[in-house]
Every structure is written in structure tokens, then in C-alpha cells.
Structure 1
Amino acid sequence: MGRTDITHTAVLQAIEEFDRLGRDTFLQKYGFRPARSYFLVHEGRHYDSKAIFGAAHGFLPGLAPLRPDNFSGGAQHAARLLRELGFTVVGEDHDPVEAEPLPVLSSLSHDELVRLVSRLKVSRANGAPALHQPITLLWAMGRALRGEDRLLSWSETEAAVRALVERHGVRGERPRVDYPVAALSRAGLWALPAHQDAVPTAHGDAGLRRWFAGNQPVGGLSEPVYERLRRFGETRLAVLEVVLGTYFVGLDCEPLLRDVGLFVEDLGLGEVDPAVVRAAQYELLCARAEGQEAGSRGRRVERIVNNPIRLASARMAVLYRSEGNCEHVHCGGQPNDVTDAGQPILEVDHIVEITRGGRDHPSQMAALCPNCHAVKTRGSTREAMRDVLLASTRERHDRLMGGADAGPGGGDS
């Protein structure tokens, strides 16, 4: 049994089951005796570390819980693995068991983060999900993208998030910041380092308010979450898609995304694994775009200008393919300047508009400099230019995909 078998998320699921069943029933279900040597500490409560670890194994896809006789290294081995996942483990004297410092990102994968975000426990008093937590998370994501301080004083966090909830909380959310921060902390996404084991649950009213007012906790995204969102564009995009697709259905998110610095042009590709060849990275982005396209075809954002949904996945793939250059083969010369974020000044546009049957797919989209974009949009030669762009972008697309088909429906109109 290796360290990578168990995930941070699986342990949290086991803890949740322990709380729901109670200690005696939980231990009986999994066949464990009460712990005597090592206890996992989470939110101020003590848990039998070996039993939690064994149960967590059963929350992994296709795997069964570990029984007591499945452990090769005993309780000490389970305690060490739990520490490596970022949890606090204490001995029978309740003193912390020392552990080696965790390397950045060691305890949270791309998939784990996406799963955590998709399972936020938000209030649904009116049927639709409340937006406190999603707004707080998007604000912190924007800060991570810009490389701003991970941890902030409570007064700064409260002022910034309160203003966003007041502007964008369109489902009757009260401008409370203590609730979403407590909930995100419980979900494993937020850190309050000086109070991590004492954060109250996100319930009640006066007691929660008093705790935050009295402690004024410094906090922000947990370090693994912050680093992954800061460094990897693919993770930022996936998390953004989950947040918008899960909690903001039917809402116009553009004003909020612009406020927090997460609108499409702000996202950036971030780092690319050097082991992933260029074609593989492009194929990955195209696959994500195809999945999103299938789910959003024909849907429209509810707003005054009833524009079809534009997909960040496809736009990112096009920018990646362009390598920062205008994709019109007869471009007269794009500006040498860059945006404030240091990105080339390029517009990603649908060669055939969606209203005329075009697709949200990279094979039918092009990155254009401002001059070429203007010609394509309103120039007298735009129809001829459209034919050229369709052929040239399809050629680049096929070359990067190794000649693979662009997905259901292909790329031809």
C-alpha cells in the first residue's frame, strides 16, 4: 500500500462518515478497535487514525476499505501517511507527532481540487445554490492568478468579499463573509493557520459572527490550493468551469469575473508540464472544449444581449495553437505591443458565427490581431477571408492533432 493510494479528499469523506455514524458504529462497520496510540485531529475533534485511513481507502474509485489485517506497517504507518496528506496526528499524550515538511502540491492533485470544488456544501434555501462560497472562492482564485499574498487579515478579506457579495449576490445572499470562510475551511480549501483546529462550523449566526470578530483570523486559500491555481492554467480553467456550471447556472457571470480578474482573457495558460509535448497539450485542451461544447450547445446566458455561451476551453486552445501570432496567413503585421499581463494583443473569434451555425471548437476559431479581426468582422473582403481562415486553421488543428478528427461533427461546415 503506497502513499498515493489514499487522497486528502477520501480522508475527509471518511471523517464525515465517522461524524455521521458515531465512533462506535464506525469502528464496528470497518472492524477496528479503538485507537490507543495515534489520533487524527480535524477541526478540534480526535479520530481513530488507523480506522479513518482504512475507511478512506474505500472511498477511492473501484477500491474496498482496508481491514485491520490489511495494514503492513500498523498504526504508525497509517499515521505517517495521514501526516503526509497534510493532517495533524497526535500521540496518546495528545502531543503532535512530528512530520517532515510537505513539498508544495504534494497533497492535492488537479482532480482532487476539482472534486472538492464541485462538492461545496452551499445553502439552497430557495432551491438555487447560494453564492457566498463561490464568490469567495473566485475572489481568492483571482488573487492566486495574480500572485498576490495568499493570506490576508480578516478586515481586508471581509471588506473585499462583502463588496463582491453586495454587488453580485443576486439570490438574496446577506453580505456575510464569516459563513463562506468557515465553510471553505471545513471543505479543506481555506486555511486559517492560527486557528485551523478551532474554526466553528458554518452554522448559526451570532456565535459564528462573534468568533470571527473576536479572533480576527488571518487566512486565505490553503497553500496547495493556492499554488495549483497560481501555476497551472488547466486547473484554473477546470475549477472555473465547475464553479460556473454548478453554482451560477442561468446567471450572467461576466461582471463578477471581470471584478475578480478571471474573465477569459485574464486566465492565462500558466505552466505546461515539459513532459507533455505540444500536440498532447493542444489535444487535451480540445478535448475539454468538446466536452463543454456538448453540454452547452444551444444554451444562452440570460442577459439583455442574448449571446451564446463562449467557452474558455476553446479560446485557451486557440491561443495555445497560435503561439502568440495572428493566425491569418495574409496578416499585414500585428502590433508589437502586449497587454498589461504581458500577453500578445490577439482576439479569438469564431470564423463562422454561432448564430450562423458555427461551433465553439478550436478548429473553427482563430486568433487574430486587431487589424485582421476588424477586417474579418466588418471589412469588404470578410467573406473571402473567412474561407482562408477556415482552411488554414483547420490545417494547423489537424497538424497538432496528428490528423485526428475534431470530434463529433468534424470541423467542416
Structure 2
Amino acid sequence: MTVNEVERYEGAPSRQDEVQWLLQPRGNGKGGSEHFRHTVEEGVKLEEYEHLLGTEAAGLSACFPNGIPARFWGATPAAVDWHPKAKAIRDSKVGDEVLFYNNWQFIARATIVHKFRNERLAEALWGKDPESGATWQHMIALDDVVHFEAEARPVLESINVKGALRGLTLVPAAHRRAFISARGVPWQQRSTPGDLPAPRRPKSGPPSVLDERELLAAIAALRTHSRREGPSLHEPLALLWSIGRLTANKQRLAPWDVFQHEVGGLLSEFGGPGSRVTPHYPFWRLRGDIWEVTGLPDDAVDPGPEALSRADATAGFVEAAARSLRKARVRAKAVRALSTAYFDSATRPLVLERVGLHGYLSASGQAGGEPPTDVADAAQRDAGPVERTSVSGTRPARNQAFVRQVKSWHGGVCQVCSEPLEGPLGRFSEAAHIQGLGSPHEGPDSTSNMLCLCPNHHTQFDGLAIYIDSDWHVRQTMDDEPLYELRLDPQHRIAPEYVEYHRLLCGKDD
């Protein structure tokens, strides 16, 4: 199973009323607080533990892509199967909420995004329990971590826990529903600011899972102010800017001063005639299922720049929306929906360039296309009589064995036009990735994600001028005119999902 085939919330509850609470003592000793700080508050770099992940590597990479800190907690094995701890380990599930407990208070909550057992990884992260010698091998991966302080006694009393919480305890969904219905969520009681933002709508909270359909529907239903010149561009620009932040692995919630400066610049440049530069409008008015604001009460009325500064307000996509937007396919659809609905073909490339999403202007994700490795390297070696300029930068590393294999399967002949391009040293051909490597497309470097193309059709394919339909016909993007039938070889399996992704970039998704 590849990373692209793993859903982060596979098996998660489909509704909030199916979510359970997993009550988890943090531990009073130095070890507990250090473990919590290390793997929940700060998180770890997944690549540093790659050699210990085993069969969980694909699932965890899907949970924490692109350098996002991986957050973990674990439990030692229960002594007997009937113990509440054993039930909590066995019956908790992806999508459940973890309430971390310490000294009669709940101090944080998080969402389970993966469950697994890994003794070696647990030991590397936390060592061994000094008393039992066991590792915290029953592990959960966490997301949507929120710090707060709330009295724990009401929840403990409702489940007949007498005294302090001593061990891992599972609160069933029905009991959680009944408690919230009667008393509200626990973090309403003594909420205080923490390192991470509290939910914008504390009574029910934003959804823990927001699927592709829900996210795109919310974007399509965006309510923009109508002007004589057309719809206001404040909210579309703010959303594209925020997607650009996620793509660059920046913090999900942006401080008001950063938002004011950068989105204000976009409004000044692209807002159009008659448009006012008022970034505080989208900052606050986007609030809803996919956007949240922290630092101000929900009932505040259109706070201005000074009020937002005094409150140290932050804003951005809710965590559930951000999780969806970290998936390449969903992100590509959102970018295309916003950019094509609100910007014409002349303005669109400029806007995407300014918000850091220029990669969506080509299939390769590279400005001006991705040069074939052999040609690029040859150009670097060539030393002519003209003045040379050193240029630094990065591009995704390509496995040259895959490149040679794809060219060999097709005899160096373009799969689009079937025309061999002969030269003094043999045939010219290029191995083109269908779903581009690296950011923002995140395609894999594999033969199933490659085509053998001549330079002309490589340029057209990367420039989104041609696409491959579901019947393997090559068509012009502009008018869907059929041009060729893609030449296939039984040795070369091309994965349909990568071709579908390319169609999506061309605006031809199924």
C-alpha cells in the first residue's frame, strides 16, 4: 500500500455523536511531563525514526506529511484483559478525542489519527518504565492538539471514578453525548489560553473530520460582497493565501499582523478599482465551518485592526479543513475552484505566484517546467565563451534507473505522437512525471507515474496544454479536440490515479 492509498482517518467515526473520550493521565513525575512536552506539545520529526516504523511507515507518513511534526502518546500493556485499561486500549478508535489529565484537571485534548503497536519506537521515544521495565508500546498518533485548563471532577464523577484518575479510561460515545447534552464540553468550564488555540465554537467544536466534498462545498458556497465590477476578492484572496501557507508548511493560524501585511498587499494589488484595502473583513467574516479566529469572543461585532492587535488574534483554516488541504488532490481542487471562479486567465498566474501556489500552473510544479535531468546536467557542464552566472536552487531528485527503464520500454519513442526523434547519439526522449514530484503535487518517483515523451509533448503536457482522458486518448485542453491515442506497453503499468490528477489540473476532472 502506498502513502497515496492511505486515508488518515480510515475507520474514523462519521459523526461527532459517535466520538468517544479517552481519558489519559499525563503522569506527575518528571518523566510524564517531559514525555508530554516532547511528543505531544512539540512533536518529533518522523524521518528521524523512519527505521523503526516498520509496516506503519505508510500510514504515519500519510498522517504527518511534508515535515509536519508527528505527535505520539502511548500506554504500557494491561496486566489482565478485563481491566479498564485493556478495554481502553482495545476499544478506542481513530477519530476519538483524548483528554489529558493531571492533578484534577484536564490540560489538553487531541484527536486520534492512527493506532498501532510498536515497542521499538516507543522505547526510542520514551525509554522504559523504571518500575515495570515495560515500554509504552500501545501507541496513538495525535492531531488537533489544543491546550486548556478545566476541572476534571464532573467528568470523573459522571463515570463513577472515586478520587483521582489513576489509569487510562475510555468513556463510551453514549455517555459522552449525555454529559455534553447536560453540562457542555469540559473545556468550557475554566478555559484559559495555552500554547495552541482553543476551538472557536467551544460548545460543539469544529468537525474533527472534514471530507473533500464538505470542504469544496464550503468553498463553492463562499458569500462574497457584490460590487458593480464583480464579486469582492477579499475572501478568495485570503483563502488562497492561507492555502499557500499550508503548502509551505507554515502555521495553520496566522497572527493578525502577518495577515494584515500580506493579505493587505494582495488586496492592494488585485482588489481592483473601487475595492477598499480592508484585510480585517475577511480575517473575521470568514468564520464558519472551515475558518476560525482565536483571541476574541464569538459575539464580537466586526472588530477593527486595533481590536485585533490588542487581542493578539490569529485566524486560519480549522484543523479539520487543514488536514484535508494537506492532501494533494483536495488542495489542487480547492486552488482551481478559487482561482478559476474569481480570477481571469491573465490575472490568475500573477495571483498564484504571489501566494506561493505557482506550482499549480504546471504539471511538474516547477516554474517554466521541469527540465530533464540529463539535459539539465549537460547544460551545467557546458562552459562556453560567454559570461557564466551561478544559480542555486533545488529540484526533486529523480531515480535515473526509472527514467532509463521507461525509455527502454518504449524504445525512446514518444507515447503521444509515436514519432522517433533521431539524433547523432541516438533517440531523444524524456521521462515525464504525470503527477509532479515535490511540492505542491507530491507525486511519487515511480515508473507508474511516468510517460516517455518527446520534448515538444513533454512541454505541452507539463504546461497543461494537453491531457489524457479516461479512455487513454490525448486531447487538447482548450477545446477537448482529440489528437492521439496514447501508445501503451504491457510492461509499463501507468497508474490511472496519477493521470486523473493531471486531468484535474487541466480542469477536466471526472
- TM superposition score category, shorter chain reference: 0.3 to 0.5
TM-score scaled to structure 2, two decimals? Answer: 0.38
Larger Rg: 2
Structure with bigger helix share is: 1
TM-score scaled to structure 1, two decimals? Answer: 0.45
